[in-house]
Amino acid sequence: MASFVMHPPGSLDHTYQLPPEHADHPIIAGLHDFAMHSEQFWGLTDAHIDVLATTTFPADDLHDRPAVMPAVWARPDGSGRVFVSTIGHKPDEFDVLHVRTLTERGLLWASW
């Protein structure tokens, strides 16, 4: 379903965008885009996921344009559910209300 590829060294300021086409998904309903100072994760994902948040990697010396990557996603899997969030690498990131809320909701959603 996903494989970690890399992340830039250290933490940086960036925004997580919540796509409007999934605004009614129970994990992100009522939430909006939010900014963080944290690590970004680049991964390979499967085309059958519902992307609930993305983050944009800026252009750099190796990449000539920005890249939008899934950061939070969900999907059914057989009779179960899968929730993935790449946010929350350090404990203090859960002090951010959006991070804590979408993580709690995601875990509850996956457990139903």
Residue that wins the pLDDT comparison between 61 and 80: 80
Q: How far apart are CA 81 and CA 78, in angstroms?
A: 8
Q: How far apart are CA 66 and CA 74, in angstroms?
A: 24
* Domains contained in the chain, CATH given: 2-111 (3.40.50.880)
Residue 11's pLDDT is 84
| Percentage with pLDDT > 90 across the chain | 62
Q: How far apart are CA 45 and CA 111, in angstroms?
A: 21
Query: pTM, whole model, 2 decimals?
Result: 0.88
Q: Is a pLDDT exceeding 70 seen at residue 36?
A: yes
- What confidence tier does 81 reach under pLDDT thresholds 50, 70, 90? very high
**Token pair 């409007």 in the structure block, residue:** 20
Q: Is a pLDDT exceeding 90 seen at residue 40?
A: no
Residue 35's pLDDT is 95
Q: Is a pLDDT exceeding 80 seen at residue 2?
A: no
